[in-house]
Chain A
Amino acid sequence: MSLKVCTAEFMISDSIGTGFSQAWLPFMAAERMATSGKDGNVDRAPDQVPFIDSEILWTNSYDDPVHAMMSIQRAPRSLVTSSPNTLVLDDAWTSDIGLSPSAPTPFGTNSGVGIRFQTRQSFNPLIYTRFFRDFPDWTSYVELGAIDPGNTLHFRYRCLFSTPGGWRTPVQPLMLAQARYARLRLWIAPWTTGVI
């Protein structure tokens, strides 16, 4: 039988033994796979249209403050366009931490891909031109900061489709956008201030 000893932050002790608390050990605390609801043929979209809309709510139920980071894995994206139209898939995210957090709706862009392929000057008639592009999947890390015990993280992610600039009806038009999915992973590590 062991003694239960007094421990500082990030340690625990009972009559079996003394060890690290879960908040000391870096780990993945939450994961979310969000799929696109609008993959396929696309048309002119001056304003951003959400293809993927997802969020994570996570409460720090430990006794110690933790350091949160989010990794966003974007699926391989595919875009097909016809001259001279521009297609864009943006990734946007927002976050809030507090007792009752509410992250704003993500707009604009934090990352993303897009294509445009123009074969004639704009004052000439269009000719048949299609352009196909696949982008490999890729990971972005977002630093979120400290989450105190009892506080909650609210993280929102959206993949937004838009067609910036001019738009003409192409010769034999083919416009496709596939965002497929995004995978969110919340990583937790100890938040230390140097005054343990």
Chain B
Amino acid sequence: MAQVCVSQNLGIGGGILSIEPHSVPHHVFDQTFNSVGDGSFSAQTTLPGKLMIDSGIQTWTNPSPMPARVLLRVQRAYRNWQTSNPNAVQIRDRYTYAIGGADPRVPDVSSVYNGQSGSAMDVGAQFNGTPYIGVYWEWEDGTLIEDWLGPIPPGADLKVWYRCNLWTPPPWSNNANNNNPQHSASVRSTRIQMIAFPTQDSTVVG
């Protein structure tokens, strides 16, 4: 009987040639993390501001005998917010990751961050110093960002940590919108997916 050896992306069991599950791209992690901070807000003029979403540390362990690459997908839900003349609002988010045993660093958005969205309109103040009437509403589409991580060695961990914060870039007026301040925001949720991709078995080179 002819003898044929196969790479670790293929298998032979009981005389049957097969394709290993880790040889095709597949979902290994898919979770949606909800906001705990939706609703009205007031002055948050110090970074990182109000914590809206915190995924905590999420871990995937590569169970296959081959290194894996991981496509990390971060899908932000649609957002909306409302802010009063002349105040600003900004929503920042960030993910961190680590491969191996260590934990990822805390995703503090104070200086380094991935996304930012927000707005401010400033139409000035009346003669008595009170800001003019003015409220701004925004509805923002959902967004997707991706990263290509790895290789993650066999048996090793990939850990990911995501946070979303809301802050109000200074200055802050307490009597916005002609002394009728209206400020609210909904970021809803962020969905985090990991899709594991196969790598070539370097011992078989053709």
Contacts and interface: CB of A to CB of B under 8 A. Distances in A.
A3 interface: yes
Given A16-B5, A127-B124, A132-B120, A139 B200 contact: no
Interface residues of B, number: 43
B192 to A, nearest CB: 15
Interface in A130-169: 130-139
B160 interface: no
B145 A130 contact: no
Contact of A25 (B4, B123, B199): B199
B69 A27 contact: yes
A130 B87 CA distance: 11
Contacts of B121: 117, 129-132
Nearest to A119: B123
A165 B107 CA distance: 41
A26 to B, nearest CB: 6
A62 to B, nearest CB: 11
Contact of A26 (B25, B76, B91, B120): B25
A3 B119 contact: no
B31 interface: no
B116 interface: yes
Interface residues of A, number: 39
A117 B134 CA distance: 12
Nearest to A11: B206
Most chain B CB within a 10 A radius of its CB, from A19, A26, A128, A185: A19
Contact of A136 (B9, B140, B200, B206): B140
A17 B4 CA distance: 7
A60 interface: no
B29 interface: no
Interface in B159-203: 197-201, 203
A35 interface: no
A42 B143 CA distance: 27
B69 A12 contact: no
Given A19-B201, A20-B198, A127-B123, 17 more contacts: A3-B3, A14-B205, A17-B4, A17-B201, A17-B203, A19-B9, A20-B7, A22-B200, A25-B198, A128-B123, A128-B124, A130-B120, A130-B122, A131-B122, A132-B120, A137-B143, A137-B145
Interface of A: 1-3, 5, 12-14, 16-22, 25-28, 31, 71, 73, 76, 78, 117, 119, 127-139, 185
Q: Considering the complex of A and B, which 7 residue pairs feature the smallest CB-CB distances, nearest first?
A: A19-B7, A12-B206, A2-B5, A17-B5, A136-B115, A136-B117, A132-B120
17 contacts: A13-B204, A18-B204, A21-B200, A25-B200, A27-B197, A117-B121, A127-B123, A127-B124, A129-B123, A131-B120, A132-B122, A133-B118, A134-B117, A135-B117, A136-B143, A137-B143, A139-B145
